[in-house]
């Protein structure tokens, strides 16, 4: 792989310690997170304090699995999910690939539909135009490999965190009294707060293995641990801001299809709605790019083993074909509905072939690997 080798100069602290967390956030955030729908689904039912506890639990799980994933990937010298699961599961790695391919079909189809709705609702464009714009953007970024994808993660993160900070400022100004009331009462939590945190963490943890190409910057196990610990909070921080704002309108907002629109209508800043929709499109772009790039890197690794290099044109063309199949064809033939019907089963398959083996066999192998000389700080 032409861009898979470590950089000639020592990677920066940002590349080693922060970028993996931003990449993980990029894969996790998607449309449901950005619009608040997933936050309402998994955290609001537990109440204000219960939701915070559920978020803390999910964050801790993400960080723990990311640390184990990053360390195991370094030990196995794995730069893509194929190499990772060959080292972890042997021939059983194909089970993960099959499940991951089904996940990709589903999420890309959902992202394409969401982009179409954004373009239609915000600019009055045909729904196909928004979908096509997202396809073109993902294919363009994915065509130029790791460096292009990493720049996307960094710049979109600036936009995303900035928009959420503005959102919090406007929300506290417009209805901060309601938020204060939600947290002012006795600290009571629904008995199912842990279930929400566990479900949401397991639902998204696959992102830790999707972002393996970014880990090429890690220079030591210490880097892997620090980056893994940071990944959970970096991914959850925007959700935390959004959740706190949403508590001001519990329980009514829990039933809204788009909690973001519900709150934006009450902020009194019409221009901010357009900026927020741009942020959601950018979130779809980085999530979709992360999913497609993982497949590109898996293909590039197979080609590299045969002495061939995947060119930018081939990367972009492959991404476009995959996106067209997922965003345009899958919905028409009913494949999305079929996969969605077994989505929870797929989530359990990922947990069974990824998280359980990693946190048992993988951790055991990490603890019992041969000692080696101290790594550079």
d(CA 215, CA 169): 34
Is the predicted pLDDT of residue 2 greater than 60, yes or no? no
Q: What is the CA radius of gyration of the chain?
A: 20
* Owner of token pair 């972009």: 316
- Residue 376 phi/psi, 5-degree rounding, is -65, 145
114, part of any domain = yes
377, part of any domain = no
- The percent of residues above 90 in pLDDT, for the chain, comes to 45
Domain that holds residue 76: 13-359
The model's pTM: 0.88
Please count the structural domains in the chain: 1
- Residue 109 phi/psi, 5-degree rounding, is -65, -45
4, part of any domain = no
Query: Which of 111-120, 142-151, 341-350 is predicted least confidently?
Result: 341-350
What is the predicted pLDDT for the residue at 89? 92
**Which of the pair, 8 or 322, is modelled with greater confidence?**
322
375, part of any domain = no
What is the predicted pLDDT for the residue at 375? 52
267, part of any domain = yes
d(CA 118, CA 111): 10
171, part of any domain = yes
Q: Which two tokens stand for residue 345?
A: 């089963």
365, part of any domain = no
**Which of the pair, 198 or 331, is modelled with greater confidence?**
198
Average pLDDT of the residues in 184-191: 68
**Residue 71's pLDDT band (boundaries 50, 70, 90)?**
very high
Q: Which two tokens stand for residue 377?
A: 């700080």
What is the predicted pLDDT for the residue at 337? 67
Average pLDDT of the residues in 11-32: 90
**Cβ(97)–Cβ(238) below 8 Å:** no
192, part of any domain = yes
CATH number at residue 173: 1.10.4160.10
Q: Per 3-state DSSP, what percentage of the chain is helix, strand, and coil (rounded to 5)?
A: 85, 0, 15
**Which of the pair, 131 or 345, is modelled with greater confidence?**
131
243-300 pLDDT, tens per residue?
A: 999 999 988 888 887 888 889 888 888 899 899 999 999 999 999 999 899 998 888 8
Is the predicted pLDDT of residue 315 greater than 70, yes or no? yes
90-103 pLDDT, tens per residue?
A: 988 889 888 888 88
């Amino acid at each position: 792989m032409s861009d898979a080798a470590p950089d000639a100069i020592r990677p920066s602290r940002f590349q080693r310690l922060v970028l993996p967390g931003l990449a993980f956030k990029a894969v996790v955030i998607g449309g449901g997170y950005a619009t608040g729908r997933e936050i309402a689904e998994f955290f609001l039912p537990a109440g204000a304090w219960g939701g915070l506890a559920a978020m803390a639990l999910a964050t801790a799980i993400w960080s723990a699995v990311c640390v184990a994933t990053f360390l195991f990937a370094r030990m196995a010298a794995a730069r893509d999910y194929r190499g990772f699961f060959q080292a972890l599961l042997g021939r059983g790695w194909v089970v993960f690939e099959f499940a991951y391919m089904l996940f990709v079909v589903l999420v890309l189809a959902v992202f394409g539909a969401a982009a179409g709705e954004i373009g239609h609702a915000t600019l009055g464009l045909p729904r196909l135009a928004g979908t096509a714009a997202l396809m073109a953007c993902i294919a363009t970024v994915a065509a130029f490999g790791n460096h292009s994808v990493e720049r996307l993660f960094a710049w979109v993160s600036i936009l995303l965190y900035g928009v959420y900070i503005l959102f919090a400022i406007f929300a506290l100004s417009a209805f901060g009294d309601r938020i204060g009331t939600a947290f002012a009462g006795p600290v009571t939590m629904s008995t199912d707060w842990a279930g929400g945190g566990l479900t949401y963490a397991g639902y998204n943890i696959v992102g830790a293995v999707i972002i393996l190409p970014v880990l090429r910057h890690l220079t030591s196990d210490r880097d892997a641990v620090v980056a893994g610990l940071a990944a959970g909070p970096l991914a959850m921080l925007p959700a935390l801001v959004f959740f706190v704002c949403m508590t001001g309108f519990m329980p009514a907002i829990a039933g809204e299809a788009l909690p973001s629109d519900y709150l934006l209508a009450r902020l009194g800043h019409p221009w901010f709605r357009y900026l927020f929709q741009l942020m959601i499109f950018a979130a779809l772009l980085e999530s979709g790019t992360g999913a497609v790039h993982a497949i590109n890197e898996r293909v590039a690794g197979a080609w590299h083993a045969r002495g061939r290099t995947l060119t930018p044109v081939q990367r972009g063309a492959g991404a476009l074909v995959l996106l067209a199949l997922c965003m345009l064809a899958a919905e028409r033939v009913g494949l999305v509905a079929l996969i969605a019907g077994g989505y929870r089963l797929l989530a359990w398959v990922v947990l069974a072939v990824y998280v359980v083996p990693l946190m048992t066999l993988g951790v055991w192998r990490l603890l019992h690997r041969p000692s080696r000389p101290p790594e550079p700080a």
